[in-house]
Structure 1
Amino acid sequence: MHRKSPLVVVGDALLDRDLTGTAERLAPDAPVPVVADCAQRVRPGGAALAACLAARDGREVTLITGLGDDPASEELRRLLSRELKLIELPLTGALPEKTRVLAQDSPVVRLDRGTGRVREATDEARAALRSAPAVLVSDYGRGAADSLRDVLAERPPLVWDPHPRGGLPVPGTRLVSPSEKEAYAPSGERGATDGDLRGAARGAAALVRHWRVAAVTVTLGARGALLSYGEHPLLVPVPTVHRGDPCGAGDRFAATAAGLLADGALVGEAVEGAVAAATEFVGAGGAGAVTYADDAGPAVVTDAADARDPVARVRATGGTVVAAGGCFDLLHAGHVGLLQAARRLGDCLVVCVNSDASVRRRKGAERPVNPLADRVRVLSALACVDAVAVFDEDTPERLLADLRPHIWVKGGDYSGADLREATLLEDWGGQAVLLPYLVGRSSTALVARVREGAR
């Protein structure tokens, strides 16, 4: 298999936090929503997110960024420690932090703090840049790219992902990737207005000439990206439209484009691949759905006793506990849609998953394809899942009797007669429901198709 080219990412790292809860009322002292029972997830942001995504594409990544001795910098070091090689630039002030507050997975407000800027370049950073086979600049306007501008000008980077507060890309950069709102011609003429492809094309062409770069691609969100070499543009549409969280999509786009160019792709091919990757990224939940080795994430449990904490917290506030069950052997779109819909029915979703022995009894000696630890890990990575509990019996009745959820969910491929748990839930006033299932999606069918293809 072709080895992917290493990548050096230069730019400004951020520490991002998501506080996710539910909002069902307004505050009595102001017309603002009250977001309750917030769960916190901390993750790399800015250039650090782009670098992590490139590393997860299977390439060796070095990140050159500013870090200090403040708590946010320490937290980011911890998150990055298993992802990539880190070369630190001295930072004046605290690392910038961005906190999003979300209710029902929709942003309510963002809180920013930390004004740290890179003070100067280091000899280690200069040497790493001069020996780098490929460079991505992720410029969030905090001084990392500016401190190394002279070295970047010697060997222009493959991709420069700009920010309104950042400096100009160095001449000779192969591809610059402003968003639609960032595509302004330096003369003051607006390069793009929302929905205005003609304006985006004129702005991109003007930027190619003004910046003296090889190409500019204006990212247009759900409409794809517009690629210009200074004349007639190429519009690359998205393969499908997702309504997921777009946070981090620009970093996913830049990381993919830089990686493909490093591996020898043409600019047009790199933009097409980047549009596809960013679209998939949004559909999977955006930056908030990316998990890290040291990320506590949802509670992964093996019995009901350990699942009681998240359930108890929801009950204490009068919330609704939802449970869903299954083998989840090969997680597919039908599973994900079912679990997302189940989570929307209440304030906490516990997934009850069959143990390996239970799956074998139900589906035969060759199942499960994925062992329990892998199935639990994948389920726990879903943003809609609050806890995972395992049962070893053929049905989860004992587990449900312990958890006592308000709602028990199964896929629409079951009939009412199959829901043996329905009678049990009546004992405590619960309700069993069926949710529609995507036609044609099943782990058994996937296994059959793979086996047929291998013959």
Structure 2
Amino acid sequence: MYDFQKVNKKKILVVGDIMIDTYYTGDVSRISPEAPVPVFRKDNERSVLGGAANVAANLIAAKQDVTMMSIVGKDENGVKLLSLLQESGISTELIIESERKTTEKIRFLAINNQQVLRLDIEDCIQISEKECKWLLSKLEDNLKSFDLILISDYLKGLLTYELTQGIILLAKKNKIPVIIDVKDRNIEKYKGATLIKPNRKELGLLTGMPVATKEELIEASEVLRVKCDSDYILTTCGAKGMVLIGQDQPYFIESVGREVFDVSGAGDTTIAYLSTCMVNGFSVFQSVEIANYAAGIQVSKVGTSSVYWKEIEDYLANEKDLFSHKLLIGNKIQNFRKEHEKEKIVFTNGCFDILHVGHVRYLQEAAKLGDQLVIGLNSDDSVRRLKGEERPVNKQLDRAEVLCSLGFVDYVVIFEEDTPYELIKEIQPDVLVKGGDYTADEVVGKDIVENRGGQLVLIPFVEGKSTSKIIEKIKQ
């Protein structure tokens, strides 16, 4: 499970193109007599932070201390934008004013929040050399106060090659991680970043490679990672989820299954929660998973908006989502030890066909022996080979869901083999637990655990309680 208690307020600098997102809500019920176009009758108007400012707003929602570095126009929208930032609790001391227009995106929403038109007002003029030097000078003066730098590139003129590389070089010199949400096709611009987040289309444009299949995604991501000398590439693929590429095995994560109302700002929410989690000590894999949940919540809302920790916690508290989170499959198994390297892992295994009080008390005692309790669950075929053709009574996913519903169980892994030996090699637990009806020499995986300094613990079963006896009683 995720330990949200360790999330503290870190100082994060957001650098990027800021804008206002304005929403006109109204009605489209007739066609204009002047031309064959719909007539939009405006009822309401609201303005919110957009672009990199929306990233900053999501970081504030994630309880972080945020400073914004950007450029804004000396116009009415510029005044409004600075006011919205300050009202949100975002520091604006590293924002400079210029003669450009402040970027505004106006969306027209009709019945059922159907978007009928978007109007963009912007000047995509690159910042001057003088402005670039001023920003880098200010950053150098304040750099040591930041725990992480997040760059959000919307290609509106702020993030030139010189400014982006200047920020990355200063950050690396001071060992501050840099996470970038990219937009440009210039790979050299992003070289040296800790993590780069393109979407599938942007990955293809950056590398000039096909990205239609999983294999192509992996290959293109690795090319980008090597060329940019980055630790990780996280590619978002919309409804198809995300793929993380680092020096280890590729990590695929499916998108969260929620009804999609509006994808505006989903990438901003993703990068904000990814950064929050990483700077607060979550593993990169856990950070990606939490960011994925946050994005799933965001797209279920209408318009550009923020996601709060309480929403993520409530979402994970849902039984179905909790089951899918606790069930370890594929890459989650391969990366498990690395994710939990500082925690004491307890492992036990069994069929757990008809869960009874003996099982519950046994697992409760096992959970007390460490930080994370992992249960290896025999698959249906494995149970059949061990117990006979009439078993199991309950299918493997049903058995897994029942185990996942127990609060003291952290993870469940279904394995196909007759013994969990290979699984124990992958999980690398610190404590191996079996029932008291075994002798130490009979326990599979004892050698693996003890060779790495772990221990075997035998816990007595509750007398008179067994699945076999329950089945016999039912038959009678």
Please indicate, yes or no, whether the TM-score normalized by the shorter chain is above 0.5: yes
- Does residue 12 of structure 2 align to residue 10 of structure 1? no
The residue type paired with residue 128 of structure 1 is N
Structure 2 counterpart SS, 1:149: helix
Name the SS of the counterpart of 2:166 in structure 1.
helix
2:28 and 2:38 in contact (8 A); partners too? yes
Q: Give 1:179's aligned residue.
A: 199
1:220 Cα offset (Å): 1.4
How big is the shift at 1:232? 4.5
The question of 1:234 aligning with 2:251 is answered yes
> Bigger CA drift: 106-115 or 154-163?
154-163
CA deviations 1:317-352 (Å, max 9, x no partner) are xxxxxxxxxxxxxxx99xxxxxxxxxxxxxxxxxxx
Amino acid at match of 2:243: L
Q: Which residue matches 2:65?
A: 60
C-alpha separation between the residues in 1 aligned to 2:217 and 2:115? 27
What is the aligned-residue RMSD (CA, Å)? 2.6
Whether 1:30 aligns to 2:48 is no
Contact kept in structure 2, 1:208 and 1:230, CA below 8 Å: no
Deviations 1:147-174 (A, max 9, x none): 2531322324431001137775533322
The answer to whether residue 141 in structure 2 is matched with residue 141 in structure 1 is no
Aligned amino acid, residue 129 of structure 1: L
Partner of 1:433: none
Task: Indicate whether 1:200 and 2:217 are aligned.
Answer: yes
**Matched residue, 2:339:** none
Q: Deviations over 1:188-214 (max 9, x none)?
A: 223x34xx4343333222211222211
Residue 111 in 1 paired to residue 119 in 2? yes
Matched, 1:100 2:107: yes
Cα 1:290–1:240 change in 2 (3 A) is closer
Q: Which residue of 2 aligns with 1:151?
A: 167
**Aligned-partner Cα distance in 1 for 2:215–2:46:** 40
Structure 2 counterpart of 1:164, one-letter code: D
Map residues 281-296 of structure 1 onto 2, 5 A cutoff: 281-287=298-304
- Counterparts of 2:307 and 2:279, CA distance in 1: 24
Q: Look up the equivalent residue of 1:139 and give its one-letter code.
A: D
**Which structure features the higher share of helix residues?**
2
Instruction: Check the 8 A contact 1:12/1:138 in 2, yes or no.
Output: yes
TM-score, normalised to structure 1, is: 0.59
Q: How far apart are residue 245 of structure 1 and its match?
A: 0.8
Question: Who is 1:164 aligned against?
Answer: 184
1:128 to 129, 133, 142: 142
Corresponding letter in the other structure for 2:122? G
Q: Which residue of 1 aligns with 2:77?
A: 72
Instruction: Output the CA distance in 1 between the equivalents of 2:71 and 2:221.
Output: 30
CA distance in 1, matches of 2:167, 2:144: 7
In the alignment, the residues of structure 2 paired with residue 11 and residue 85 of structure 1 have an alpha-carbon distance, to the nearest angstrom, of 14
* 1:204–1:26 Cα change, 3 Å: farther
Instruction: Give the match for residue 277 of structure 2.
Output: 260
Residue 184 of structure 1 aligns to a residue whose secondary structure is helix
Q: In structure 2, how many angstroms separate the alpha carbons of the residues matched to 1:180 and 1:268?
A: 19
Structure 1 residues 92, 287: CA separation in 2 closer, same or farther (over 3 Å shift)? same
Q: Please tell me whether Structure 1 or Structure 2 has the larger radius of gyration of its CA atoms.
A: 2
CA separation of 1:217 and 1:16: change in aligned 2, threshold 3 A: same
1:185 to partner: Cα distance? 5.4
The 3 A distance-change label for structure 1 pair 286 and 200 is: farther
Give the Å deviation of 1:58: 0.9
Deviation, 1:89, is 2.9
**CA distance, structure 1, for counterparts of residue 185 and residue 40 of structure 2:** 31
Structure-2 residue corresponding to 1:188: 208
1:309-328 pair list within 5 angstroms: none
Does structure 1 residue 274 correspond to structure 2 residue 288?
A: no
Q: Which residue of 1 aligns with 2:360?
A: none
**Deviation at 1:250?**
0.4
| % identical equivalent positions | 27
Distance 1:129 1:167, change over 3 A: farther
Tell me which of 88, 91, 105 is aligned to 1:85: 91
Assess if the C-alpha contact under 8 Å between 1:91 and 1:117 holds in 2: no
User: Alpha-carbon deviations, 1:52-82, whole Å to 9, x = none?
Assistant: 1101211111111112311111110111112
* Aligned partners of 1:92 and 1:118 also within 8 Å: no
**Partners in 1 of 2:98 and 2:146 — Cα distance?**
23
Shift of 1:255: 0.6
**Once the 2 structures are TM-superposed, how far is the Cα of residue 251 of structure 1 from its aligned partner?**
0.3
Q: Is the 8 A contact 2:269 2:307 kept in 1?
A: no
Tell which deviates more after alignment, 28-37 or 47-56: 28-37
Rounded Cα–Cα distance in structure 2 between residues aligned with 1:48 and 1:163: 16
Cα distance 1:245–1:185, how it changes in 2: closer, same or farther (>3 A)?
closer
Which residue of structure 2 lines up, in the alignment, with residue 43 of structure 1?
48
Q: Label 1:277 to 1:234 Cα distance change in 2 as closer, same or farther (>3 A).
A: same
TM-score, normalised on structure 2? 0.56
Q: Equivalent residue of 2:204, what SS?
A: coil
Shift of 1:270: 1.1
Structure 2 residue runs of 5 or longer lacking an equivalent are 309-313, 316-476
Per-residue deviation at 1:252? Answer: 0.3
Q: Does the 8 Å contact 1:93/1:117 carry over to 2? A: no
Q: Deviations over 1:196-237 (max 9, x none)?
A: 434333322221122221111111122221111267421111
Mapped partners of 2:303, 2:251: distance in 1: 26
Matches within 5 A, 1:304-453: none
Q: Which one-letter code corresponds to 1:240 in the other structure?
A: G
Q: Which moved more, 1:122-131 or 1:233-242?
A: 122-131
